[in-house]
Structure 1
């Protein structure tokens, strides 16, 4: 066998090995199965759905208090006697008793306190800058009176 034929055979074997390795790597893993014995029993089905009702007409009722109106058990056309209870309004829960609202209000209070502290620090920094500028202006006025500093430099310091 010549060297040329051997190279072709080695190349063919190498290509076949690469193709076999690629095929093996791309194979999907077997899917796991649950094996259970079949038995007879009751069929139990459960579902949950959310719905929304739309009333053909909307009725507006007013009351002197805020609250939630309970479901009215009367139907259209039912007879109503004087003094009969027709509707029950449940009072609203206090907003301050709500834990989520309480947490939100506490967070707002902390944010306001932090903002106030930051403003106080900015005020203190501005006052220190103003004192420094006033001292600089006083020195420059004294130097300007003796003619050591130019009028432009004095104007710049006083503007600051």
Structure 2
């Protein structure tokens, strides 16, 4: 069973002619975000470089949800291009333009052009914590941290 929520979207002038984000398959978790760069001014991401790429969209997430900006696996595997702070969080009360911080971990320059699918937006339920100070329950793992459960 697929659970849906309404996502209100507003296109900004520099993204007005681009398609809205879309799921690429029936069971896809993320909507593909597109680069809203000028058609005559693509962005070259040199190896090791990072840039904030506009999407031309403002969104209004439902209360109790968040938007997670995640890398596209094809860009990561083929070119080493990924979302810098993956997953980036868009709070439900944010009303600025959705921007994607891309980084090129690859060995070659990467060209980002207008309308290119650059990231995914996953809308997820978001719980808020009510902090309760006091002693914690014991667990079998205890304070075992990084690598404490083995390597395989």
Q: TM-score range by the shorter chain?
A: under 0.3
- TM-score scaled by structure 1? 0.16
More RCO (CA 8 Å, sep 6+) = 2
Structure with the largest fraction of helix: 1
